Structure 1
Amino acid sequence: MMMKIDCKPLAKPLAASIALLLSGCMVGPDYHRPQVSVPATYRELPGWTQAEPAAAGPKGAWWTGFNDPLIDQLEPLVEVSNQTVRQDYANYQEALAEVKVARAGLFPTVGVTGSATRARGATSSTTSTASRAYTTNSGSLEGNVSWAPDLWGSVRRTIEENSATAQASEATLANATLSEQVTLATTIIQLRTSDANIALLQDTVKAYQHFLDVVSNQDKYGTIAPSDLITARTQLETAQSSLIALGVARAQYAHAIAVLVGKNPEDLDIPFNPTMPSLPSVPVGVPSTLLQRRPDIATAERQMASENAAIGVAVAAYYPTVSLSALDGFTQSPLGGLLHIANYVWSLGGSATETIFDGGERSGEVAAAKAAYDAAVANYRGTVLTAFEDVENDLSGLRILSQQADALDAAVRDATRGTEIAFNEYQAGTVDYTTVATAQATQLSNQQTALSVQESRLADAASLIGDLGGGWSDGALHDPRNPRDSDKATAQAASAAVGASAPAARTGSAD
């Protein structure tokens, strides 16, 4: 890593002095984003027919692709009501404030001091032992200015460091928002699957009850083995038990959904709805765009820039610190006539300090800063690799699950037909009820597996959207070094909060 002092030599000493005071130098390395290896295309992309690589990526309200009214209703609440998101928003506001604190170091500190004193004294006479008391008033009014010019760029590097940290916090906020939105979509998918399973078991219970009625009638006439009645009754009771057990999972999903949108579980009522969401079409794009679309990558990259600036702060400690001060005002005793020109006082001063020996403290700080930067680089590259892995996992999951879903559709059709044939054969007396029970168990198992695969495909689609950044771009990051830009970011967040909370207040229940 090359150290750089960004000062241009000036011909005239006076001009050099003025330029030095006003702009100073910038010690430490300038930041350049490290290169990372990016594949030309995703390995799994050709095998996934849902992919649209020519498109730019998910945009805006990406969750509408699931065509689920509950998802559409609750997703906007995450940004303003989810407490994890609110925490990261507060952290971002804190980081913006730290930039303002650092920027203050570029400017002089101006103060004013006023004082007044009232004192009692006594005088003694040479011709008498008596003394005469008197009272005097005194006061001062002074203004003072102090300034430590940023000769070596320590303050500017600190601003650079804090600005990058603020942008990392902004990207963390975006990542938390996206993550919680994906979690909400996934949880609603799980709830819908639970409702679909409940509907399936309700139909199964009705079918098993019909089978039991038929078997019971045959048992009255003694035309079947007693074990057939027990088998049919056991199947019905088992299905009823499984149906009741599904209520536990459904309640937990509903409670989790309420918390994700910042509500108490008892404040959100989600009616039963077995209709599964639609599988959205997700444009994937090329891998290189992932570096700009993933907020967690942006967080890692901005942390890297912050650590790079911290090296400059540590290097600046090697150079002298110069401080300038001035005082201007009035002082008078007695107080009367304080502001007369005769009572005018002023002073100018300057100081410079330089550490000669510190036992290796500064060199240790520089080494620590460099090591922290190297760690940030490794974290950035690791985050990029993980991002590519996530997308490949999502694509492979969607491809393989699509093939499994096709096979299960055929298996469900065949198992349903097999149950009908087995029951007809049982009524004809050609098979015992064990054959029917086996066919029924196979049919229910295949139907539940098909629902599980459908749930996994929807969850993988939601995960893929999140792993592609959900339409976010690092171009959305604001520059905290520009006060207007940071104020604009705060105003946008505040307006979004007001806009999203208004309809939420009118929502009594979901769906």
Structure 2
Amino acid sequence: MNLPKARILCVPAMLALSAGCTTVGPDYVTPPAPAGIEEQPSTDFEAVKETPQVSAEPLPDRWWELYNDPALDALVQAALTANTDLREAAANLERARATTSEARAAADVQTSVSGQAAVGETSNYGLGNPNGVHDTFSLGGDISYEVDVVGRIRRSIEAATASEEAQLAAYDLARITIVAHVVGAYTDACTAGASLAVARHSADVQRQSLALTQRGVEGGLFPRIDLVRSRGLLSQVEASLPGYEAQRRLALYRLAVLTGKAPQDFPAQLATCHTIPSPDRPIPAGDGTALIRRRPDIRQAERQLHAATAQIGIETAALYPTVSLGASAGTTSRTIDGLVSDSAVHFSLGPLISWTFPNTKVARARIAQAQASAKAALARFDGTVLTSLQETESALTQYARDLEENAALRRAQQDSAEALTLQTRMARNGVSSGLDLLDAQRSLVSADQSLAASNAKLAGDRVTIFLALGGGWEHGEEETSSAQD
């Protein structure tokens, strides 16, 4: 059996056609930063120029190690290993990679095998003929390869790859967010402990003052109303203690869940933490250009834009024919032994050109939809860049202002403590009234509480800054694998 000459001549013709393949749709070009950011002479953050507590040094890869706290390092590592949100993000990344593999497989040779056994009967004018019953056996196979004439497959692979890279950026974003939440929960627990220690100290001081006032009343130096007022102030201070206890316990619960544990399984040693964690050097903020390159949400938006651009080419390809090169072979016989006979074998080889004449209005409407989606993706990218810069500038500016407030509150607390010391001495010598002493006590309690609240706010500001800065490390394959396990 010889292959017809016309079919043989079609093969090199189709190969020549495939050599001239083009890729429809726009070729992707990374967009510039919006609002002329790249043209600005300086991308330094304003806070870098305003406060020595922020520097232009680049953010280190593992920014939480700036706290120089082994307990915090262990908690971050536990979260990166067992956090449920991170495991979900890793699974989504795994699915995106499988989708890319599927798109790449479409460019390979496709094969299929089929077989059939049947029992048939020859009918005579609709009446059964027992002598016409016979068996039929068939076996066949096909092999085909789609010639990507206009780049539909290439654009599909391009879109799937960009979507996978966007999901990788989403994984990095989840990891950065989780680390920031761990540092935040740890900071909140220790900050609540520090505020609790301040409140307990204030209560102790007030108890001592109450004892002094008690003696003054008994000695006739103070009226009884001063004793009642002093006791009321002590009650106010003591009333703040349960709130700080609750804040610390809630932060510990949150920390346990972030590390993949039950809420009550938080590290026991943190239940007594009362030292607010703080970096051992000024916060290294880098500059705006580095931020744009580093933040994973910006990378995610840019990769989504790439995928949306490739989708335009996929939709455009629907206007063109599909060309495949293939071959098929098979055999049919009424006996199994006859399947291998020459007369039973049949085969074909040649190109297949299929062109579905679509409703061009529908096809072009889909192209328009893809183009609109790409425009939306570009707008989303621009917005993500601008929002990231705004978040970082705002966080750094807030930190700078809170540092100024903290310095003023610290001076006020020191002055209030000194005033109470002097007022107490005067009260003991009988040259000051109990009301003056009570006012000095209230001023110190208020100053202590305000300073504690300011210290807590600074601790939260630092976490917010690190989150806005985008973490500072690039994605590692080994960390993805550990999250998937």
- TM category, shorter: 0.7 to 0.9
Change (3 A) 1:45 1:213: same
Q: Which residue of 2 aligns with 1:144?
A: 142
Q: Which secondary structure state, in structure 1, belongs to the residue aligned with residue 353 of structure 2?
A: strand
Q: Are positions 1:373 and 2:374 aligned together?
A: yes
**Residue 217 in 1 paired to residue 204 in 2?**
no
Partner of 2:255: 257
Distance 1:469 1:205, change over 3 A: same
Alpha-carbon displacement from aligned partner over 1:83-121 (angstroms, at most 9, x marks no partner)? 222221111111111111111221232011122346799
Residue aligned with 1:80, SS: helix
Q: Flag the 1:168–1:346 CA change in 2: closer, same or farther, 3 A.
A: same
- Tell me if the contact between 2:26 and 2:309 (Cα under 8 Å) persists in the aligned partners: yes
Structure 2 vs 1, CA of residues 455 and 69 (structure 1 numbering), >3 Å: closer, same or farther?
Answer: farther
What's 2:4 paired with?
A: none
Question: What residue ranges of structure 1 are gaps of 5+ in the alignment?
Answer: 1-12, 123-130, 478-488, 499-511
| Aligned residue among 45, 50, 55 for 1:47 | 50
Match of 1:25 among 22, 29, 46: 22
Between the two proteins, what is the percent identity of the paired residues? 28
From the superposition, tell whether residues 359 and 151 of structure 1 become closer, same or farther in structure 2 (CA, over 3 Å): closer
Amino acid in structure 1 at the alignment position of 2:21 = G
**Structure 2 SS opposite 1:231:** helix
Contact 1:325 1:348 in 2 (8 A): yes
Quick one: which of 57, 60, 64 aligns to 2:59? 57
Instruction: Please give the alpha-carbon distance, in whole angstroms, between the structure 2 residues aligned to 1:357 and 1:119.
Output: 40
In structure 2, distance between residues paired with 1:495 and 1:183: 19
**1:384 maps to what in 2?**
385
CA gap of 1:263–1:211, structure 2 versus 1, over 3 A, is same
Alignment of 1:350-365 (within 5 A): 350-356=351-357, 358=359, 360-365=361-366
* CA apart distance, 1:361: 0.8
Name the CA distance, whole Å, in 2 between partners of 1:386 and 1:264.
Answer: 35
Q: TM-score, with normalisation over the residues of structure 1?
A: 0.84
Indicate conservation of the 8 Å contact 1:118/1:137, yes or no. Answer: yes
Structure 1 residues 275, 174: closer, same or farther in 2, change over 3 A? same
Contact 2:417–2:444, Cα closer than 8 Å, also in 1:
yes
Instruction: Kindly tell me the number of residue pairs found equivalent between the two proteins.
Output: 463
Query: In the TM superposition, what are the counterparts of 1:472-483 in structure 2 within 5 Å?
Result: 472-473=473-474, 476=475
Post-superposition shift, 1:294?
A: 0.7
Does structure 1 conserve the Cα–Cα contact (< 8 Å) formed by 2:81 and 2:482? no
Conserved 8 A contact 1:99-1:159:
yes
Deviation per CA, 1:312-367: give whole Å up to 9, x if none.
11111111223444321322212224223332221346543435451611111111
Specify which structure has the higher proportion of helix.
2
Q: CA contact under 8 A between 1:137 and 1:335: conserved in structure 2?
A: no
* Contact kept? 1:332, 1:343, Cα under 8 Å: yes
Structure 2 match to 1:34: 31
Secondary structure of residue in 2 paired with 1:277:
coil
Counterpart secondary structure, 2:347: strand
Counterpart residue number, 2:226: 228
What is the RMSD computed on CA atoms of the aligned residues?
2.7
The one-letter amino acid of 1:164's match is A
Q: 1:299: Cα distance to partner?
A: 0.5
Tell me what 1:116 maps to. Answer: 117
Residue 277 of structure 1 corresponds to 277
**C-alpha distance after superposition, 1:463-492 (max 9, x if no partner):** 22222222224xx58xxxxxxxxxxx4x65
3-state SS, counterpart of residue 304 of structure 1? helix
Write the deviation string for residues 284-318 of structure 1: whole angstroms up to 9, x where unpaired. Answer: 22321222111111001101111110111111111
Native 8 Å contact 2:226 2:438 kept in 1: no
Q: CA deviation at 1:178?
A: 0.2
Pairing of 1:148-297 with structure 2 (within 5 A) = 148-268=146-266, 269=268, 270-280=270-280, 281-297=282-298
Q: Match of 2:411?
A: 410
Task: State the AA in 1 paired with 2:273.
Answer: N
Match of 2:431? 430
- Code of the residue aligned with 1:494 in structure 2: it is S
Cα 1:287–1:95 change in 2 (3 A) is same
Matched to 1:172, the amino acid is: A
Offset of residue 164 of structure 1:
0.5
Instruction: Show the counterpart of 2:6.
Output: none
Deviations 1:216-252 (A, max 9, x none): 2333344421101101111111211111222222221
The answer on whether the counterparts of 2:182 and 2:258 sit within 8 Å (CA) in structure 1 is yes
What residue ranges of structure 2 are gaps of 5+ in the alignment? Answer: 1-9, 124-128
Query: Corresponding residue for 2:481?
Result: 494
**SS of residue paired to 1:275:** coil
Structure 1: how far apart are the matches of 2:143 and 2:255?
57
Q: What is the letter of the counterpart of residue 468 of structure 2?
A: D
State how far apart, in whole Å, the 2-side matches of 1:437 and 1:198 are: 22
Give, in whole Å, the separation in 1 of the partners of 2:167 and 2:420: 58
C-alpha separation in 2, matches of 1:345 and 1:179: 63
CA separation in 2, counterparts of 1:211 and 1:451? 21
Task: Check whether the contact 2:221–2:430 (CA below 8 A) recurs between aligned residues.
Answer: no
- Cα deviation 1:396-440 (Å, max 9, x = unaligned): 223222222222222111111111112222222233222222222
User: Helix, strand or coil for the counterpart of 1:110?
Assistant: strand
TM-score of the aligned structures, taking structure 2 as reference length: 0.88
Does the Cα contact within 8 Å between 1:62 and 1:471 map onto a contact in 2?
A: yes
AA partner of residue 374 (structure 2): Y
